[in-house]
Amino acid sequence: MKTLLSEKELYDGVSRIAHDITATYKDQQLTAVGVLTGSIVLLADLIRLMDLPMRVGVVQASSYRGATTSRGELLINAELMLDITGRDVLLVDDIFDTGHTLVEVVKKMKEFGPKSIRSAVLLRKEGRQEVDVLPDFVAFDIPDEFVVGYGLDYEDMYRNLPYLAALEPDDIARHKQNSTAEQLASYQQP
């Protein structure tokens, strides 16, 4: 894997958008809603850096499943989300790629009657946008590579890396080979 952003660079970028968000909302009460599961590390770091009265919740949205690097049907589960009616909401997500997830999650959240919705993302992938909407707060623009770490995953692995890395094709092949070997070994045990 090739490192794209170090721990220090990630901290600096998250600190910068935390400052911008705090300045935007000033003394207003904010409801931060993280998109599971990729945003959990960002959400945790971000809310600790914002000096605002705040409520925190989550919404589940996913379009990538299993050993894929291409998006599938977007599924949104808002049952975990706290009440956002009449609230100023900040939707926190890990990555803005094509933009479809952001558009659909915001559309779903509007059904609950928030006062306002803005969005913050850790990463915006260059040249991938397919929608006319952009996130309100972006920590980093990155090249069009499949990235892991700092909450982002490949087959539910690598989320715990404290830095951001790009998976190379041989990393993906090695991961698939190791997963297959582990699966075979588990079937052979009595």
Active site residues: 97
What strands lie across the sheet with 164-166, from one edge to the other?
2-5, 164-166, 147-148
Q: Is the peptide bond preceding residue 37 cis, with omega within 30 degrees of 0?
A: yes
- Between CA 37 and CA 80 the distance in angstroms is 12
What residues contact residue 155 under an 8 Å CB cut-off, 6+ apart? 66, 67, 175, 179
Look up residue 125 and give its two tokens.
């992938």
